[in-house]
Each structure stands twice: as structure tokens, then as C-alpha cells.
Amino acid sequence: MFSLHPQKHLCGIKHNTIPFMKKVVLGAAVLAMFSFTAVEVSNWGIDSSHSRLGFTLNHQGIAELQGEFKKVEATLTASAADFSDAKIELTAQANSIYTGSEGRDGHLQTPDFLDAAQFPTITFKSSSMKKVGEKDYVVTGDLTMHGVTKQVELKARHNATIQTKQGIDVAGFKVTGTIKRTDFGVGKDFPSAVASDEMQVNADIEISKK
């Protein structure tokens, strides 16, 4: 005789457990997929003893005045070995400016220029690092100086990456670019005939993998 009631069990498994089992299997598959596609992110920090953040501007049309910031911190994170997805953050202390003249350095820290007391740091935070050659990149990001933030574009060249005897990965970059000081309100009342408005950024950065 055939039962008028639907069969409640099939091979010892309840019907309502089958959808649940499918969800479990699907969930396990998703987790497995993510475990295989997880990307390792590498963190790098600046080696201050082998790095320099400098600038150059024209003085009275006859000479190049060079300077640098002595206190700089920087970090870089990347998952790609060629740094094509790198994110960079840099901070320089405005009162660490050095041009070889104590009097000039003191003047540059005043409200006439950097106003280091009110705006103690100069920062850069990248938004992209686009590879344009075997070792060359275009780095775009926000530069904040004198309380003003502007997007700037810099060029970076990856010199090389080596491993020290201690097993530490070390990479070196040359960074260059051009900015206008008056875009950031720096020395806006100071004649460009004496100190050019355009400033050349020139940095040599050495970073170590943490």
C-alpha cells in the first residue's frame, strides 16, 4: 500500500537539511577561494640616515639655492613586488628646514614663509603610483604645506631593491617634481625675482621592509 503522507526521510536525511548542507558547502568553497587569493601586504619604513628630502629654487636669477628638511618620517605599503600599487605617507617637520644659513632658516620658519609655529608639519599622502616604465612611476597625491592642501604629481624612479646580510629587504627611490610655493601661500608677498615661485623637489629615499 502507498502511504498518503509524503516521505519524511530519504536515505536517513531529512528533506529540510538538504538546503542547509548546500549552504555549508557553498560557504566552505567561498572561504577556500578567499584563502587562496589573499594578498600579502608589505610595510616599509624610511631609513633616515640614508635619505634626503630636498628642494631647489632660483635666487635672483643667478644661482640655485638648495635646502632640505632634516626631520622626515615616511611609510610605504605595497602588495605588488614592483611597487605598482604602493601607498605612501610622508611627514616632514617644518622647523627642520636647513639651507646652510642659520638666519635664513629662521626667517623661512616665520609667518613670512612656512609659519612653522602654526603649521608644524608638511605632509604628503599618495592616491596612486602608476608604473610608466621598467623602473619609472608617476606618483599622485595630496601635499599639505602651510595649512593648504593641493594635489601634486611627482616622478619616482625605483633604483633597486636588495637584501642586506641581515636578510632585510631595502629599496631606493629618486623622487623629483615641481611645485609653486605661492600655491600653498608660502612667501606669497615675497618677490619671485628674489626667490623663484617654482621649487624643484628632489628626494633620495631609502626604505626598509619591516
Segment 65-90, tens digit of pLDDT: 999 999 999 999 999 989 999 999 99
> Is 34 part of a structural domain of the chain?
no
> Which residue(s) pair with 54 in the sheet?
68, 202
User: What is the CATH number for 60?
Assistant: 2.40.128.110
CA atoms lying within 13 Å on the CB side of residue 48: 10
Cell digits for 68?
Answer: 632640505
> Is 194 part of a structural domain of the chain?
yes
187 backbone dihedrals φ, ψ, rounded to 5°: 60, 40
> Is 35 part of a structural domain of the chain?
no
- CA 17 vs. chain centroid, Å, equals 51
Task: Of 83, 86, 104, 105, give the one whose Cα is nearest residue 96.
Answer: 105
> Is 28 part of a structural domain of the chain?
no
Q: Three-state DSSP class for 25?
A: helix
- Does the pLDDT of residue 38 top 60, yes or no? no
> Is 5 part of a structural domain of the chain?
no
> Is 27 part of a structural domain of the chain?
no
Distance CA 176, CA 153 (A): 9
pLDDT band at 2 (very low <50, low <70, confident <90, very high): very low
pLDDT tens for residues 90-119?
999 999 999 999 999 999 999 999 999 999
Distance CA 205, CA 203 (A): 6
> Is 13 part of a structural domain of the chain?
no
Which residues form the domain of 171? 42-209
pLDDT tens for residues 141-187?
999 999 999 999 999 999 999 999 999 999 999 999 999 999 999 99
The pLDDT value recorded for residue 40 is: 83
The number of folded domains in the chain is: 1
Q: What's the mean pLDDT when you consider all of the chain?
A: 88
> Is 180 part of a structural domain of the chain?
yes
- Per DSSP bridges, beta strands 13-14 and 63-69 are unpaired
The pLDDT value recorded for residue 149 is: 98
Cα torsion 59, 146, 190, 104: sign: negative
